[in-house]
Amino acid sequence: MVEIKSDAALAAMREAGRVVANALAAVQAEAAVGVSLLDLDEVARGVLRAAGAASPFLGYRPSFAPVPFPAVICASVNDAVVHGIPDGYRLGDGDLVSIDCGAVLDGWAGDAAVSFTVGTARPEDTALIDTARRALEAGIAAAVAGNRTGDIGHAIGTVARGARYGLLDGYGGHGIGRRMHEDPHVPNEGRPGRGYPLRPGLVLAIEPMLIVGGRDDYATDPDGWTLRTTDGARAAHVEHTVAITEDGPRILTLP
């Protein structure tokens, strides 16, 4: 079931989104050579705690997962695309890191992700992250009343494929509101004019996941969560929670 949010609900989701943005900013500021992924998870926990927010990630167990997710962030490094479980791995110079974080505040959820490099950035990583951001921006620009989810996917896919990147097979964005994952599914490739219709009050998490080399396939780590490229190629993941409004798309996960 797709819920259309009231103005009051959008205002509440904006506050949840602000918490997510602050957590991601704090994690990125802390990320440095020698810092562990568990350290970064603790930083995010501190931001959520200070805001009185809960984590929709912690304890989350969808049907595919062998165990509940044990952290408040997903921390995916280098060839890990999404859903990386924070552990004792210490960041090295040149690592490409994708951090996904959510928050629930006063019963409403926010969800966003950033990708960045630690220390000395490889030019190819910088290009990958820049393209992922451009794909996200294109998807957000297409999130207008009267369009459909296929228009968002077409916008994202055009940027990604045009730069010869892969897109994680079968994965995309989703509706969001009282729960982190709601209908409808938001594809990262699509046909214009197809899919679920966009109307004011619909809120979507839009999240391109780009892979160097153009392949879309992936393998799942033994932890049952981490999705990794099959050839060791690097990946980037960026995301915002976006409301469809009569005045155009409104990003809810900004600081």
What are 150-186's pLDDT values in tens digits? 999 999 999 999 999 999 999 999 999 999 999 999 9
Angle between helices 7-30 and 37-51 in degrees, nearest 10: 140
What are 88-132's pLDDT values in tens digits? 999 999 999 999 999 999 999 999 999 999 999 999 999 999 999
Look at residue 209 and tell me whether its pLDDT is greater than 90: yes
Q: What is the pLDDT, as a whole number, of residue 231?
A: 97
Look at residue 26 and tell me whether its pLDDT is greater than 90: yes
**Average pLDDT of 132-144?**
98
Q: What is the pLDDT, as a whole number, of residue 1?
A: 85
**Which residue has tokens 């959520």?**
48
**Average pLDDT of 192-211?**
98
Amino acid identity at 109: A
State yes or no: cis peptide before 192, omega within 30 of 0. no
**pLDDT averaged over the chain?**
98
- Three-state SS at 117: strand
pLDDT confidence band for 28 (50 / 70 / 90): very high
pTM attached to this predicted model = 0.98
Look at residue 217 and tell me whether its pLDDT is greater than 90: yes
How far is Cα 28 from Cα 220, in angstroms, rounded to an integer?
A: 25
Q: What percent of the chain has pLDDT over 90?
A: 100
Residue 232 class from Cβ within 10 Å (0-12 exposed, 13-18 middle, 19+ buried)? exposed
Distances (CA, A) of 220 to 211, 227, 229: 15, 5, 9
Look at residue 237 and tell me whether its pLDDT is greater than 90: yes
Distances (CA, A) of 192 to 4, 9, 207: 22, 29, 18
